[in-house]
Amino acid sequence: MGSGRNNEILCWLLVLILSDWSAAQISYSVSEEADKGTVVGNLAKDLNVSFRDLQTRNLNLVSGYSKKYFEANVKTGDLCVNERIDREELCPNTIKCTLNLEAILSNPMILHRIEVVIVDLNDNAPTFVEKSHSLNISEFSPMGEHFLLPLALDADTGSNSVKSYRLSPNEYFSLDVQSGVEQSASAELVLVKALDREKQAVVKLALTAVDGGKPPKTGSVQIHHQNNSRCRWRPYYLCGSFFSQTPPLRAKHQ
Ligand SMILES: [Ca+2]
Ligand SMILES: [Ca+2]
Ligand SMILES: [Ca+2]
């Protein structure tokens, strides 16, 4: 952005600070990652002016962002996407994401505040921070005992975040999944059959995180079976090799 453009924005911002010319706020919404040129709304219609007015009254769009996310087509009156809008970059860790700008017309000077709600797309799969981990579980653990598992992360929000987990078929453990409407799901391992280290020293499982997108995206873990005689007189071992990235282990028993 050149210094001329910066000066222009500063002038307009100064005008806005010193003035109280504000009309009702206009609210639009557009999906993140929308193509350049995607129409967000029609300014001429919503400002209640003609296309010709947009030119003769020198329509200016002002915002405080380093990128010019939107531009106006004064021939059609449309407000269009001008730059890639990545919700995860703009609004990390927040559920609602908005971009705000002002549309200013001169002669007479009128200011309209515009809010554009950025709608999340399911463009990120669940991932895990760690690539592998192991749990030490005593063979004397009672059936029904719960063991915390790594949490998957998903940069998307709401229904596009992690909503469920799956566990590969096995005879010793089931999965207890806790999920909320707005929160990411979490899962715990539940012992359903007594462990016997003499019979099987190591159990390997696959844990898969699933988001709520349509279609859903997944982050998987594959775990290999391995009988290890070195575990013979040691606590029972549950070992895992993560093929995707995964989060820190929260374990009740290590
Ligand atoms: Ca994105
Ligand atoms: Ca997204
Ligand atoms: Ca997702």
H helix and E strand count, the chain: 4, 16
In which order are the strands placed within the sheet that holds 146-148?
Answer: 146-148, 186-191, 173-178
Question: What is the number of the ligand closest to the CA of 219?
Answer: 3
Q: How many Å lie between the centroid of ligand 2 and the Cα of residue 58?
A: 35
pLDDT at 111: 93
Q: Which of 119, 142, 173 is the last residue of a domain?
A: 119
Q: How many Å lie between the centroid of ligand 2 and the Cα of residue 156?
A: 4
Token readout for 74 is 């004064």
Question: What is the number of the ligand closest to the CA of 121?
Answer: 2
Q: Whole-prediction pTM value?
A: 0.75
Q: How many Å lie between the centroid of ligand 2 and the Cα of residue 24?
A: 30
pLDDT at 116: 98
Instruction: Answer whether residue 49 is part of any domain.
Output: yes
Q: Are residues 105 and 140 in the same domain?
A: no
pLDDT at 249: 40
Q: Are residues 64 and 158 in the same domain?
A: no
Q: Which of 119, 142, 157 is the last residue of a domain?
A: 119
CA 217-169-219 angle, 5° bins: 20
The residue among 18, 112, 121 whose CA lies nearest residue 72 is 112
Q: How far apart are CA 145 and CA 142, in angstroms?
A: 6
Q: Which of 91, 119, 147 is the last residue of a domain?
A: 119
Q: How many Å lie between the centroid of ligand 1 and the Cα of residue 88?
A: 5
pLDDT at 53: 92
Q: How many Å lie between the centroid of ligand 2 and the Cα of residue 161?
A: 9
Question: What is the number of the ligand closest to the CA of 153?
Answer: 3
Token readout for 177 is 């999944």
Cβ(40)–Cβ(28) under 8 Å? yes
Instruction: Answer whether residue 251 is part of any domain.
Output: no
Q: Which helix (H) or strand (E) holds 47?
A: helix 43-47
Q: How many Å lie between the centroid of ligand 3 and the Cα of residue 179?
A: 15
Ion ligand 3 neighbours (CB, 5 A) are 122, 124, 154, 156, 160, 211
Torsion-angle region of 9 (φ positive above 0: left; ψ -120 to 50: alpha; else: beta): alpha
pLDDT at 201: 80
The residue among 128, 124, 94, 139 whose CA lies nearest residue 233 is 139
What's the total number of domains in the chain? 2
Q: How many Å lie between the centroid of ligand 3 and the Cα of residue 163?
A: 9
Q: Are residues 205 and 155 in the same domain?
A: yes
The CATH number of residue 187's host domain is 2.60.40.60
Question: What is the number of the ligand closest to the CA of 217?
Answer: 3
pLDDT at 61: 96
Q: Which class for 187: exposed (0-12), middle (13-18), buried (19 or more C-beta within 10 A)? A: buried
Q: Are residues 92 and 156 in the same domain?
A: no
Q: How many Å lie between the centroid of ligand 2 and the Cα of residue 122?
A: 5
Domain that residue 20 falls in: 3-119
Instruction: Answer whether residue 171 is part of any domain.
Output: yes
Q: The tokens 């999340």 sit on which residue? A: 120
Q: How many Å lie between the centroid of ligand 3 and the Cα of residue 149?
A: 19
Question: What is the number of the ligand closest to the CA of 125?
Answer: 3
Q: Are residues 236 and 193 in the same domain?
A: yes
Query: What torsion, rounded to 10 degrees, do the Cα atoms 49, 52, 56, 58 define?
Result: 60
Q: Give the residue ranges of the chain where pLDDT is below 50.
A: 1, 18-20, 223-235, 239-254
Tens digit of each residue's pLDDT (9 = 90 or more) over 172-207: 899 999 987 667 899 999 999 988 878 888 888 889
